[in-house]
Structure 1
């Protein structure tokens, strides 16, 4: 392994680099630095395969995990990604889990351009989250968005931090395959409407079935808080509200389940 292009071994958790990495477990530092952590073999591989900008890949030198990454070490032509062999103590310092995986990466946030939001023209499909607070729900919605060919995912005020380690894990790497951004919905939704997009909300009080709605156009789908639904302020921007018909007995669907149903209904219509 020493023949590979690696940085010097880091053993101490007092090392300045380690302190800087560990701080990224807190949102205020992620926001300030524009970076976040990816923990585990699957997420690091997904990021590398997607060409996501990484500052560093950090691995437990005492493990054999690097054997799975030999083809990536030194393959970054820009030389931007550094590979650091470290002690298990360093790995633990930079993880919030009880049993850390032997590898993590320090990734740069990447803000999508307006093209990602509006470049699809009449065929855009943007997912909008208004106060969705559970990391698992947000991660699942990002996975469904990526799988169904959505154009982008927008996180409005009150929605959990996309770069929270729990949210990142729950995306299972889908974050690298669909543009995700945080935005002020009171500014962005009118902008989408002015460009011809239909802003569609979801509501248990809606009369129109999601299966009767025409998703074969530029649509921004809005999903609200797990308990309260869409906020009053955001609901005023919706041109229409739809409901998922349920023939069985259940009060409602989990927001991630509801988003998945609607996204794949949109995909079905668009493939027809």
Structure 2
């Protein structure tokens, strides 16, 4: 077990730099904060470079067995000042980890027989992106594709909102105008919410291969993506609310897809 006590240590500076997207992109690494997220990463056998814990408290009891079993992962004792420097939360937990980015592949999402994928187009709010990933995980979706203009999936706020779901299913970043035509060629339906849609989401057939498209909170789908959409869906609402938050809308459609597929 190593120890680092100086906030000016080069490794500490490198870790703190991962709070910025440009450094995450350059180093192909990101940070996760807190016992639960580190637990989930270890369970999922994510590629961890190191786990840093507060020296004075020691390795959290919830992680002690994992520490003994996690071959190839450095466990480093650090000071509370270093943890505060390297984490985004206002009240930091006594542990964080450095994760190497994985390269999830698009091919399996295209090839799966009854593929169910969420596609995000310009969804900028980190909480919404994280919640949608969590909902996709909850229903056993095939994966999530994140297009340009979305919040960075490795943003600490996104990662916290996923509650570990980021480690449970493929989350792929890419150009939607390149990816979506490939899906259409495979016979995958592209469906999205639309206030002008005639078809209720409860009458739509989610049992076949379908990808669900969700646009930005303010403007909806971009014109290029909207042109590729096959089916517009309406979420019926009996009350007076004008619309649903994008994460709520995604969750409604995902759970309706799950109901049709597994709970008839």
Poorly superposed stretches of 4+, deviation over 6 Å: none
RMSD between aligned residues:
1.1
TM-score w.r.t. structure 2 length? 0.97
**2:29 aligned partner:** 35
Q: Distance in 2 between matches of 1:118 and 1:65?
A: 42
Q: Does 1:104 align with 2:96?
A: yes
SS of 1:45 mapped into structure 2: helix
Query: Equivalences for 1:1-272 in 2 at 5 Å?
Result: 6-7=1-2, 9-77=3-71, 79=72, 81-121=73-113, 123-271=114-262, 272=264
Q: Distance in 1 between matches of 2:106 and 2:190?
A: 17
Q: Which ranges of structure 1 fall in alignment gaps of 5 or more residues?
A: 1-5
For 2:31 and 2:119, locate their aligned partners in 1 and report how far apart those are by CA, in whole Å.
Answer: 24
Residue 34 of structure 1 and its aligned partner are, at CA, apart by 0.9
- 1:121-173 alpha-carbon deviations (Å, 9 max, x no partner): 2x000100011011111111001000011101000111100000011001111
For residue 92 of structure 1, report the CA deviation from its aligned partner.
0.8
Q: Deviations over 1:53-88 (max 9, x none)?
A: 1000001011144332111114134x2x11000111
The more displaced of 182-191 and 65-74 is 65-74
**CA contact 2:35–2:60 (8 Å) conserved in 1:** no
Alignment partners' CA distance in 2, 1:59 and 1:151: 34
| Residues in 2 aligned to 1:119 and 1:62: alpha-carbon distance in whole angstroms | 50
**Residue 69 of structure 2: SS of its match in structure 1?**
coil
TM-score normalised according to structure 1 size: 0.94
Q: Deviations over 1:198-230 (max 9, x none)?
A: 011211111111111111111010001111111
SS at match of 2:158: helix
* Structure 2: unaligned runs, 5 residues or longer: none
Matched positions, count: 263
